[in-house]
Amino acid sequence: MATKNSMSIAAKGYALHDEQAKFDLFNFQRRAPDEYDIMIEIYFCGICHSDIHQSRNEWHNSIYPMVPGHEITGIAKMVGSSVATIQVGDAEHFVCKLPNGLDLAKTAPLLCAGITSYAPFQEHNVGPNTRVGYD
Ligand SMILES: [Zn+2]
């Protein structure tokens, strides 16, 4: 893959143009991937509550137009020359190689919520026969 260049790639997503807007198909240009990037063809995307906060500018830092959603699954279409762990054709999320055969449609919505719930459980050694919450 080429190093940084001035090429751009046509892309599309469902965008919001302000905090009151509804999703609208949005065509835009992305910079060309460089040697450390992976270009993914996105097949499925979940929306988490952080996306909703950003969409509605509830954290007062939103930038529009916005294509929310970071819980994506898809297939690697281009891999930079400095990327060693992912190959073209791998199924991915954020960029983690997913096991072969995993249902991408069912995986995408679980990613952000699953990770943000799972990480504290790991950190606090929550496991079988552990109670979470108050008595
Ligand atoms: Zn999220």
Three-state helix/strand/coil letters over 7-38: CEEEEEEEEECCCCCCCEEEEEEEECCCCCCE
Dist. CA 112 → ligand 1 center (Å): 4
| CATH number, domain containing residue 22 | 3.90.180.10
Q: Which residue has the higher pLDDT, 116 or 128?
A: 128
Range of the domain at 97: 8-123
Closest CA to 14 of 37, 40, 42: 42
Task: Say how many Å lie between the first and final Cα of the chain, rounded.
Answer: 56
Count of CB atoms situated within 10 Å of the CB of 104? 17
135 in a domain, yes or no?
no
130 in a domain, yes or no?
no
80 in a domain, yes or no?
yes
Question: What share of the chain in percent tops pLDDT 90?
Answer: 46
Dist. CA 73 → ligand 1 center (Å): 13
129 in a domain, yes or no?
no
77 in a domain, yes or no?
yes
For the cut 60, the answer to whether the pLDDT of residue 4 exceeds it is: no
Number of domains in the chain: 1
| Mean pLDDT, the chain, integer | 87
How far apart CA 56 and CA 47 sit, in angstroms, is 13
Q: Which of 55-64, 74-83, 86-95, 105-114 has the highest mean pLDDT?
A: 55-64
Angle at 77 between CA 44 and CA 85, to 5 degrees: 95
Dist. CA 101 → ligand 1 center (Å): 24
- What tokens does 117 get? 């719930």
For the cut 70, the answer to whether the pLDDT of residue 5 exceeds it is: no
Q: Which residue has the higher pLDDT, 96 or 54?
A: 54
134 in a domain, yes or no?
no
Give the 3-state secondary structure of residue 104.
helix
For the cut 80, the answer to whether the pLDDT of residue 3 exceeds it is: no
Give pLDDT tens digits for 86-108: 889 887 766 778 888 988 888 87
Amino acid letter, 119: A
78 in a domain, yes or no?
yes
Dist. CA 39 → ligand 1 center (Å): 20
Dist. CA 3 → ligand 1 center (Å): 30
23 in a domain, yes or no?
yes
Distance of CA 18 to the CA centre of its chain: 21
How far apart CA 3 and CA 81 sit, in angstroms, is 9
Give pLDDT tens digits for 8-44: 999 999 999 999 999 999 999 999 989 999 999 999 9
